[in-house]
């Protein structure tokens, strides 16, 4: 029997749902019911391979996986063990490039406190005697990695939840979700209705279908994932084997009693139940089932597996497992509250949900009970996907490409090809004609540089290593033109959010730490904070009219910031309209010491300092084009952002371009902007500032108006932080060797102790230096000597005063 009401309804009885219920109960929330359409573990959980690797490129996911290991150790010692085997884990490098990646990952691990270390091929053979070392150039080993039985884990978590009062109803299918005035009110099963305040969609490969019942889009695709279980061929006296991954050969291994589990990520993935025209459509009776064996598609994995472990050629296969797993377009989880109040999602685990299950349950429970998780999971926020992912074909293409490249080396300049080009600036054709090298972000085609500008800096300094892989002397030329003359940039991809209505001023004042409800035409740089004082977004806000404000935020964070603002409006019952106007308005930036010389003859207003001061906006015309000018800069030079409706935008670009030629105007791309902003110390949200950093730590205390009438979200937490005093501060660091350019996440050492990690960095062409930013102890003031781990080598560096 299901209850007539519960505070929280969790849909899905796999490892995700069980973990969420378990952690809710641990936090004292026991008015919870779990609904499972069939039996516990009958979705993707029962056929998971069960590997638990901890280190990821992302610090939050690494912490989530590390927490999972701690939980699994604890459960293994309890009444309901999970089959946890802390076997250790080896990752092989079968190419020199992979060894570089491993050494970079060892640096990450140091920053995260994980004892990952490099081992020789000979040491690999000692730990995994079955291996053939042909082509192996190195490896790393983490002794706390391991594997477990996914079904036992699910049952153990469910038992722990039940023990604290959580109710679990199996063979109970959800057929509807009641949403009233944008808020969840109940869940309908085939036999009953449960009134509730919160619904958590932990439906695995069914999660998108469940979300559609609430009018929510969750972009995930079930993809067939195969692995083989060999016959027994090892003696019980043989020492246990660690898990083994060889990403260059696309394969992984773990011990299974006296045999092996062998799987991988093939280059020809098989999406299941979704195509270019229809959403996922998992059969209603697909419970506890597997897909037919697909040996032709597994052939590549089998061949590579035998190459690395030759005995497999002589060992029979006891069973082939072919089961669908839910993958997302960017290989990140989908977590958090959606645009429907009270409707949460924890899905899209991308075949590493067993490793992350403990951490997933923890952050979701905190989100529901405390309103915010203790770790920054913004890159996993279900709201990060924009409207492009409403398309079945685009979602499918991006997800399949993601699976196909799962084991590729994640170079920082790696660009994806699927679904491109989709979102294009009105000046896109001009960019193509002038040799633009494009990158992509949030489905936007963005100019990285113009190859024709390479001739302007033929002897430009090229960084060594990965930083110099996808590089052009054009970046240096565009950088220098901005500092010395003037450059034109297309920033149309920057997300633009319009907030209007009777309560618009009150809402923006509450959500921003700065005073943003100032005079019409004022532009304010500000942060949006959570209740803990962490930075949820970093943007500029312009007051266009008395009750109309425009926020400009990052390309990649636009969809999430839009959802965040709408959620704040809902919580405050604000009478506002919040709209994404990104595509309606183009934005071009004209920056450099000669920007005024170029723009003044084109406009009928005075651009002088007194008439048009910094951080103000004016409606005017540029040539024949109606436009709004905003005197702001992300490169630290004189200049304006020029906004125009998209039907005028191509003409605006052409007008400014023609007018700038006598002044030596150059068109520039985002790589130059990155280099320029590093020299000026401008922060980037998602790396330099996050939901776990406060404005005081980030050096943005000047934005905090602590005495603002009415206060603001997070003000109490900031007041406490100010009273206690910061223990760390974002600092600029210059490496002694300018050719050693950081990429992010590298550990920073001071007096032999790791004290922080790099948030962002790059090469500054004006200062001729390799620049890094890192949160360091407050005592690490300018002049302090530190070291940065760059691909396994400690490079001396100095903390410097900002801006460079």
Phi-psi label, residue 751: left if phi above 0, alpha if psi -120 to 50, beta otherwise: left
Burial of 464 (0-12, 13-18, 19+ CB in 10 A): middle
Picking from 803, 799, 778, the residue whose alpha carbon sits closest to that of residue 788 is 799
Secondary structure in 3-state letters for 98-116: HHHHHHHHHHHHHHHCCCC
Which of the following is catalytic: 252, 394, 403, 765? 252
Our answer to whether residue 538 is catalytic in this structure is: yes
Q: Do the beta carbons of residue 800 and residue 782 sit within 8 Å?
A: yes
Which of the following is catalytic: 47, 225, 352, 431? 225
Picking from 792, 800, 747, the residue whose alpha carbon sits closest to that of residue 769 is 800
Report CA-CA distances (Å) from 480 to 238, 447, 609, 643, 734. Answer: 64, 17, 24, 25, 20
Residue 122: how many other CB atoms lie within 10 Å: 9
Secondary structure in 3-state letters for 554-605: CCCCHHHHHHHHHHHHHHCCCCCEEEECHHHEEEEEEECCCHHHHHHHHCCC
Picking from 361, 16, 66, the residue whose alpha carbon sits closest to that of residue 206 is 16
Backbone φ and ψ for 313, nearest 5 degrees, come out as -65, -20
Q: How far apart are CA 10 and CA 31, in angstroms?
A: 11
Q: Do the beta carbons of residue 567 and residue 575 sit within 8 Å?
A: no
| Half-sphere exposure at residue 684, Cβ-oriented, CA atoms within 13 angstroms | 22
Instruction: Using DSSP bridges, classify how beta strands 198-201 and 8-11 pair: parallel, antiparallel or unpaired.
Output: parallel
Tokens 């430009």 belong to 460
Which of the following is catalytic: 513, 515, 538, 688? 538
User: Does residue 287 sit in helix, strand or coil?
Assistant: coil
Q: How far apart are CA 705 and CA 695, in angstroms?
A: 11
Q: How far apart are CA 746 and CA 365, in angstroms?
A: 31
Q: Do the beta carbons of residue 525 and residue 615 sit within 8 Å?
A: yes
Q: Do the beta carbons of residue 32 and residue 194 sit within 8 Å?
A: no
Q: Say which residues have a Cβ less than 8 Å from residue 714's Cβ, sequence separation at least 6.
A: 513, 529, 530, 531, 532, 533, 534
The helix (run of H) or strand (run of E) holding residue 537 is strand 535-545
User: To the nearest 10°, the Cα dihedral for 16, 69, 374, 346?
Assistant: -10
Q: Do the beta carbons of residue 792 and residue 138 sit within 8 Å?
A: no
Q: How far apart are CA 543 and CA 552, in angstroms?
A: 12
Q: How far apart are CA 248 and CA 409, in angstroms?
A: 9
Quick one: angle between helices 15-26 and 353-370, nearest 10?
Answer: 40
Q: Do the beta carbons of residue 152 and residue 78 sit within 8 Å?
A: no
Q: How far apart are CA 799 and CA 131, in angstroms?
A: 45
Q: How far apart are CA 738 and CA 736, in angstroms?
A: 6
Catalytic residue numbers, as ranges: 225, 252, 538
């Amino acid at each position: 029997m299901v209850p007539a009401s519960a505070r929280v309804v969790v849909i899905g009885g796999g490892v995700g749902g069980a973990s969420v219920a378990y952690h809710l109960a641990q936090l004292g929330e026991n008015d919870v019911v779990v609904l499972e359409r069939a039996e516990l573990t009958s979705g993707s959980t029962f056929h998971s391979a069960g590997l638990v690797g901890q280190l990821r490129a992302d610090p939050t996911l690494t912490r989530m996986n590390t927490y999972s290991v701690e939980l699994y150790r604890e459960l293994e010692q309890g009444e309901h063990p999970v089959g946890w085997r802390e076997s250790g884990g080896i990752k092989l490098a079968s190419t020199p490039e992979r060894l570089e990646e491993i050494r970079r990952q060892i640096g990450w691990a140091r920053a995260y406190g994980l004892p990952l270390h490099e081992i020789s091929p000979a040491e690999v053979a000692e730990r995994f005697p079955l291996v053939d070392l042909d082509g192996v150039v190195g490896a790393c080993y983490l002794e706390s990695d391991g594997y477990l039985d996914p079904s036992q884990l699910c049952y153990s978590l469910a038992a722990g939840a039940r023990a604290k009062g959580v109710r679990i109803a199996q063979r109970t299918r959800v057929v509807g979700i009641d949403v009233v005035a944008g808020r969840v009110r109940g869940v309908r099963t085939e036999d009953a209705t449960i009134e509730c305040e919160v619904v958590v969609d932990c439906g695995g490969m069914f999660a998108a279908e469940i979300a559609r019942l609430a009018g929510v889009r969750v972009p995930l695709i079930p993809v067939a994932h195969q692995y083989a279980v060999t016959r027994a061929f090892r003696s019980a006296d043989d020492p246990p084997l660690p898990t083994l991954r060889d990403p260059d050969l696309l394969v992984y291994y773990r011990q299974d009693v006296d045999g092996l589990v062998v799987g991988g990520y093939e280059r020809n993935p098989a999406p299941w139940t979704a195509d270019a025209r229809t959403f996922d459509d998992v059969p209603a009776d697909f419970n506890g089932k597997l897909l037919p064996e697909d040996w032709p598609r597994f052939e590549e994995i089998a061949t590579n597996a035998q190459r690395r472990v030759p005995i497999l050629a002589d060992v029979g296969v006891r069973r082939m497992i072919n089961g669908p797993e839910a993958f997302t377009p960017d290989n990140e989880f989908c977590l958090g509250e959606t645009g429907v109040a009270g409707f949460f999602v924890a899905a899209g685990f991308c075949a590493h949900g067993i490793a992350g299950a403990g951490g997933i349950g923890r952050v979701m429970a905190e989100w529901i009970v405390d309103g915010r998780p203790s770790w920054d999971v913004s890159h996993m926020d279900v709201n990060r996907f924009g409207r492009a992912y409403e398309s079945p074909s685009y979602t499918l293409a991006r997800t399949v490409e993601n699976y196909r490249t799962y084991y590729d080396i994640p170079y920082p300049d790696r660009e994806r090809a699927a679904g491109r080009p989709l979102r294009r600036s009105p000046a896109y054709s001009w960019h193509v004609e002038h040799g633009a090298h494009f990158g992509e972000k949030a489905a936007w085609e963005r100019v990285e540089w113009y190859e024709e500008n390479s001739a302007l800096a033929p002897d430009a300094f090229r960084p060594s290593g990965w930083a110099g892989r996808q590089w052009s002397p054009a970046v240096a030329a565009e950088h220098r033109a901005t500092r010395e003359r003037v450059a034109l940039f297309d920033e149309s991809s920057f997300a633009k959010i319009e907030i209007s209505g009777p309560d618009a001023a009150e809402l923006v004042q509450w959500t921003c730490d700065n005073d943003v409800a100032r005079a019409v035409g004022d532009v304010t740089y500000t942060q949006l904070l959570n209740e803990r004082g962490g930075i949820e977004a970093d943007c500029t806000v312009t007051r266009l009219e008395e009750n109309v404000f425009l926020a400009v935020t990052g390309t990649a964070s636009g969809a999430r910031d839009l959802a965040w603002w709408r959620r704040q409006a809902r919580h405050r019952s604000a009478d506002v309209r919040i709209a994404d106007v990104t595509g309606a308005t183009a934005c071009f930036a004209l920056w450099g010491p000669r920007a005024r010389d170029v723009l003044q003859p084109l406009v009928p207003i005075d651009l002088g300092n007194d008439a048009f001061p910094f951080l103000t906006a004016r409606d005017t015309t540029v040539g024949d084009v109606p436009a709004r000018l905003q005197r702001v800069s992300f490169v630290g030079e004189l200049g304006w952002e020029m906004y125009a409706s998209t039907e005028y935008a191509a003409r605006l670009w052409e007008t400014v371009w023609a007018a700038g030629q006598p002044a030596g105007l150059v068109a520039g791309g985002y790589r130059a902007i990155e280099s320029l902003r590093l020299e000026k110390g401008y922060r980037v949200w998602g790396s330099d500032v996050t939901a776990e950093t406060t404005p005081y730590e980030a050096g943005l205390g000047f934005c905090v108006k602590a005495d603002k009438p009415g206060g603001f979200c997070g003000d109490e937490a900031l007041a406490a932080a100010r009273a206690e005093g910061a223990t760390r501060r974002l600092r600029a660091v210059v490496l002694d060797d300018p050719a050693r350019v950081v990429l992010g996440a590298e550990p920073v050492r001071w007096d032999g102790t790791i004290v922080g990690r790099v948030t962002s960095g790059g090469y500054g062409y004006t200062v001729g230096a390799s620049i890094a930013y890192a949160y360091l102890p407050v005592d690490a003031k300018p002049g302090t000597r530190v070291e940065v781990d760059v691909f396994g080598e400690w490079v001396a560096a100095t903390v410097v005063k900002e801006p460079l």
